[in-house]
Amino acid sequence: MGHTVLKVPTGVADFDSIINGGLPEGSVVMLIGDVGAGQQEFVYTSAFKLSTVKEHPYLGESMLGSFCNFEGLPEHICYVTFSRSKMDILREISEGFDSSFYNMLSRKLKFKDLSAHYYKKSLVPPSWTGEGNGGELFASTPKETVLEALIQYLDEAPANSMIIVDSLTDLVVSENIKITDLVNILRGLQRASKNWGGVIYLMLTQGILDKRDEQMLIDSVDGVLVFEWTKYLKSHKRQRYMYVEKFMSVLPHLDKERIARFPTMVTSQSGMTIINMETIS
C-alpha cells in the first residue's frame, strides 16, 4: 500500500480537479511570472476561497468542487511582507474584488510585516515604514537581519498553515542579501515544510535575476507555477496564462491529460478562474 499524501486545494477549482484535489501538503511552491500576470490574484483567490469554506463548510462544493478533500484546508492563512504594508494589501483587495473578499480576508489573513528588518540598512527612514493611522512607528532598529527574522517567523508559525511570502523579488534585489544564502534557506525550508503540513507560496517576478540565479531558486522548491501574458496574433489584446513548470507529483497528471497551459481570467466576484484548457497533440 502506497503512502497517502493529503492535498491542499489551491482554490482554483478547475486546476484542482486536474491535479487530484490540490497540492501535496508540505509543498513549497514558487509563483513566478510577468508583472500583473496573475500571481497576486492567485494567492488572493486561494486565501479567500479556503477561508470562506473553512468558516462556512456548506459552501465547500460550490467554492472548491465536489472532488476536493476538505481535510486539506489549512488552519491558518499567513501573509508575510517585506516592503508592502497590511494597509497596502487590504486596499488592493478592496479595489480589485467585491466586498466579500475584503470582509473575509481582512479578518482571516494573519499579517507579518518584516519591513523594519528589510529597510534597516537602507536610506528609507523609519517614519516611512510605519503602519500609519495611529500605528506605532518602529521604536528601534531590529537586531536581526530580514532573513533571520523570516526564518524565526516560519519556524514559529503554526503547523498546517498556508503561508504567502510577498515576495522573493524584494529579497533578491536587496544588496544586503546574498543569493546563495537565500537558496540555502529555501532548501532548508523545503525539508522543514514536510513536517509542518499546509503549503507555502513564494512570489517572484520573472526576469529580475539572471538565468543561473533564477534556476538555483527554482531548484530549491517543490513546485513552480508560471504566470505569463501572451498577445493574440494580429491583435493588441493580451491573455493571461498559467502553467506548471516543475512539480513531480503534479506533472504526471498534466501529461496524461496532455495539458500545456491554462488560460486564466480574473473577475471581482470569483477571483482567478480557468476559462478553457489548451492541449498539445
Q: What is the pLDDT of residues 242-263, one digit of tens each?
A: 988 877 656 555 555 545 688 9
Residue from 178, 221, 216 nearest 202 by CA: 221
CA torsion sign for 115, 120, 125, 127 is positive
Task: Determine contact, residues 197/160, Cβ cutoff 8 Å.
Answer: yes
CA-to-CA separations, 254 to 151, 246, 249, in angstroms, rounded: 33, 11, 10
- What does the pLDDT read at residue 70? 81
pLDDT less than 50: residues of the chain: 1, 131-138, 258, 280-281
Q: What structural domains does the chain harbor?
A: 7-279 (3.40.50.300)
Residue 215 belongs to what H/E stretch?
helix 211-218
Q: What is the CA radius of gyration of the chain?
A: 19
- What does the pLDDT read at residue 234? 66
Task: Determine contact, residues 73/11, Cβ cutoff 8 Å.
Answer: no
> What is the rounded average pLDDT for all residues in the chain?
87
Residue 224 belongs to what H/E stretch?
strand 223-231
pTM metric for this prediction: 0.90
Is the bond leading into 235 cis (omega within 30 degrees of zero)? no
